[in-house]
Structure 1
Amino acid sequence: MKKNCFKKTNLSLLLFVLFLAPAVSWASLELTYPSAPDAGIPTLTANSTLGQTIKYFISWAIIIGAVIVFGSLIAAGLQYLSSTGNPAQMRQATSRILNSFLGLLILLGSYLALHTINPQLTIMEVKRTAVPQSVVVAYSKEAQGPPRTVSDAKEKEPFIKRLMTGSKNLLNKWSKNLKFKITKRGSIEEINFADFELDSFSFLEDETGKKPPLKIILYPFEDFQTSKTIGSQKYTYPAKEITPESTSVLHEDIFFRREDLVGTTVLDENGNNYRIEKNDVPTSPKGILTPPLSIRIIGNGPGVYLYEKTYNGTTPVLQNEVYFYRSYEDFRTRTVDDDIDFNDKITEIEIKNEASDYLAVLYEDPRYEGEFRLFFQNKSRMVGTTSQEIGNVKATAIGSSKYTALIKDSNGDTVIDEFGKVKEPSSLFLAQLADDPSVCQEVRLCTGPEYSGDCLVYLPAGKDIDWKEEKENVGLATTTIPFYQAQNIPDSQKVHYKNEKSDGTFEIIERDADFNDNIYSLQIKGQCLVALFDKKIHPNRNQCPAQRDQCWAGGSGPGKNSELFDLSDPDLNPNNITSCKPIKGIGFWTEHSCASSIAVFPYRRDISSGEGSGATRGF
């Protein structure tokens, strides 16, 4: 027995040494280790850290161990089935099955222990596959035309600059010093940037002939700025945009004609200082032709675009732009590319649907908290049994495919409409609306926890409740689901409840119910997004947003305690919608529900940020 135990110990030690040997020697060897496809296990290299090495071998050990246990279970099961009439074989098979399950428990225990110590040791995530080649390039005149494909770009390699690889955004600043080359004094057309050789930009086609869903934004100044103040004079030049659909992009299309260079000292072709005077600046067209000093490449596909715009008189000037294809819980943590702080600066939203129908919700605070406003495209939608034009994101012009909505107007005032209010957005929730409203089957608002007390039951048009399935003594009042538009929750309402008799039958009895600021549980059946607002919608909302005080009761907005839900919540008490404090008691504020109006949106799915969302506490 001791000898057998000694052999097992030696075997375990040998396996342990063989397992860790590569981990000890990896740093000094140029080996190619296997990787698990789409499992988040990186291939080891000579530059891998000790933590990456440990994660690599632990991950493979768990995978291989699971395969061995699974194979052992199958073999033991077959042995058990084939050992009928042979008790010894059956006992051996039973022992193997038990040992296999024991091994499975050990694997599970190891995983949980490692995850408790450091979750990063066990996380295996499916990652996006990056595009393997550059998809946007800048080229010089020597390239003799824009490269169109990857192979074409390789042939013109000496004359191009690769700007983007895979799905990474680019922040590319040109020279920080304005260095001009003057070949002929008095002829301003000859003044150019000495070290700027690039002529234009090109989007490379893939093997199917398609260009990437991207666009280039060019800025006249560094750090993505469109304005510059010199003394008391402010100079503003709108950013320029280039898309794959641009028919032709010439040298002049990517340059800016600037008037702010008067008084600037530049270098001539001999390296001598030269001061630009007012009479050096052309008047027609006006300004000195200069290249962009900062450039951004962003997505141009379906999703949500948020803009920061300022106004030069009545003319909007694009300052910054950011593209979202999923929810984002905190703009403060997102610095687009390198150093753009977009938090609290958004003035306009654009929704690009294509095959989708997006619902974008902008929140005042991070982590989907605070007052919010819902945005979705204005189009014909089914409301009850009729079709209506509903939505606040509208086409910029007749026949235009661009749908936008203002968050702040040209005066800098926050826009309020019947879909809410957001002054300085800090987080975004994004979902896809369903074409068929019937995916949302039922919504209940109840005055007690666990869907007790009295309930408002919102149903699709033409449907009713089945009393046989209802609980006794729970009052119910039915109404049609308020799709897309806010509807006030009644202060009081007649409800009916089921009273069971001793003979097994039941009767329906009527009573009065109070729903005013008295909602404490929410039940959702089907795919419904439910917005609960802590203010009532104004009866004259058809005059909103032209008259801001005609949108919501009190004239300000839907209220900071408003929330959005996608799952049932049997107890709303921990939520913002039940944390209103309008009444001061003896030395303290009393908290109660303030759900005053409701809007429901049928949706296909949310486009998650992957950072978690408290579904029953709103997003």
Structure 2
Amino acid sequence: DISCDQQYPWCKDKSGDIAGLVKNFYNYALAAVGVAALGAIIFGGVKYTVSAGNPSGQADAISWITGAVWGLVLLLGANLLLRTINPKLVNLEMTKLEGVKVKQKTTQPNQRPGEAFKDTKTVERNDVVIKVKLAGKDKDITSQAKNFTLKNNASIDGTKKETLAEVAYLKNEGASTGKFNPNLVIITSGTDGQHEAGKNSHASGNKVDLRANQQMSNYIESVPSGWKKLNKGDNKGDNKGDMGGKCFENECYLSPRGAIYNKEKDHWDILVK
């Protein structure tokens, strides 16, 4: 039992860590072995002296001295070798481990994980159909997109099914790639509000606005496969209403389905011609 409950000499280090205990024990053991070797040399010398005229006694004395000397050589050599390789091998220190900081998953204001915002509602449409590809399937399958998340004061009455299909396709991209939460694809404006009339407009059912949450915006702005970055003024149309369907913002993208995404301050303006 070498625990410090016994008040051994190597327990003078009050740091309380195991490294200090081992280091002190090693130093005391080294000193003890050195004293023992010195004692063996003295014993051998005395025996050699008193064994004058006794060859066997002198030979035994010489073996004592030789063994003690070799023991000291090995002891000091091992210590020197360890110090040469790395001084820390004989000067043990406890490394302090810093606490691990766990980054908590944050959500948008008024949002619970996996859910939309509290200021939203779910609206059903039974006329929206999209084609999706399932893992392991060669052909696309037809899927009905029924539920759409809207801001409380928004309406999609009169919004074309093709326009809502684009929203459903975007949600499917979020789900299939894992790049953004499809539950956060929220329509903030459809045919509601004061929008200009025209062929390519909210009023005609060709446009919706989507809330610009950070994950979805990052995904679109990364220009994923099938998407295209457009320049301001591209795709200019002749129709009145919401700039005639052209890119009127610096952040403008063309989706794989041909829809135009213009990023305004707090939302994406989606046009499906």
Same fold (TM over 0.5): no
> Could you say which structure has the larger radius of gyration?
2
Greater fraction strand: 1
Which is bigger in relative contact order (C-alpha 8 A, separation at least 6)? 2
TM-score by length of 1: 0.14
TM-score by length of 2: 0.30
